[in-house]
Structure 1
Amino acid sequence: MQFIPYLSFQGECRPAFTTYAEIFDGTLELMPFSDMPPGDGMPSLPPEQAGWIMHGSVTLPDGGLLMGADMPPQFGGERMAGASVAISLPSPAEVNRVFDALKVDAQTIAMEVGPTFFSPAFGMLTDRFGTSWMIMTEPQ
């Protein structure tokens, strides 16, 4: 069994997951609400939300998976809060590469990449899409 993070957005899922697929060299799949067949019991969305993503995924080369969607507020959806995506990478150089890519227009940088007692390279930030990240490498 494995846990799979499922991220919540409000209109930012498409650019966020496109960015994550590029950074992590993953395979992107997006299913917009506009592709939903009529009469499936779901209320229709206003035109400004028609392109929102009902389900998105990035499958990583090693089989890892990140999923998410735009959560319309009229259905009770909210943007992410209170959770972080933690990722362990093979080297400090890779930690720095990923951190630098995610910190472009970041909302907050809680901790720049640096050594800690548990990792030779660890950093925390909230990216421009509102996703909180904890990026590290295992001790060598």
Structure 2
Amino acid sequence: MTITTTTHLNFRGDARAALDFYRSVFGGELAALTYADAHNVSEPTEADWIMWGQVASEEGFRVMAYDVPSHTAYEAGVIPVFVSVRGTDATELTRYFEGLAEGGEVVVPIAPAAWSPLYGMLRDRFGVTWVLDLEASW
């Protein structure tokens, strides 16, 4: 299996602007899914916020970002980054997820998501937040 780790940035309403900016600097393709696209709107004013987004260039630059919804605690600069692990083998990703979860806290159980056939989020025993997902073609 092939995996990649990617910096995953957290914002509150600025993810699209940040992704557009990073794309203007590094080039590449922008892929984004809003809360409305995912039918996961909890606050109507946040419907166009980014639930999942990334910029990836052929030169190897990759960054992911999302907007933390208002019903979730958020303080700029506190947990500003997730470590994202993307892979091509569901069994192997599940094994990584279960290993990282030992002694930690599962935030989102590993299961299908709007942007991936398999996605999960956890905070490991050291307080690092990880998101793992199965690669999907856009």
TM-score normalised according to structure 2 size: 0.50
Question: Which structure is larger by alpha-carbon Rg, 1 or 2?
Answer: 1
Higher strand proportion (structure 1 or 2): 2
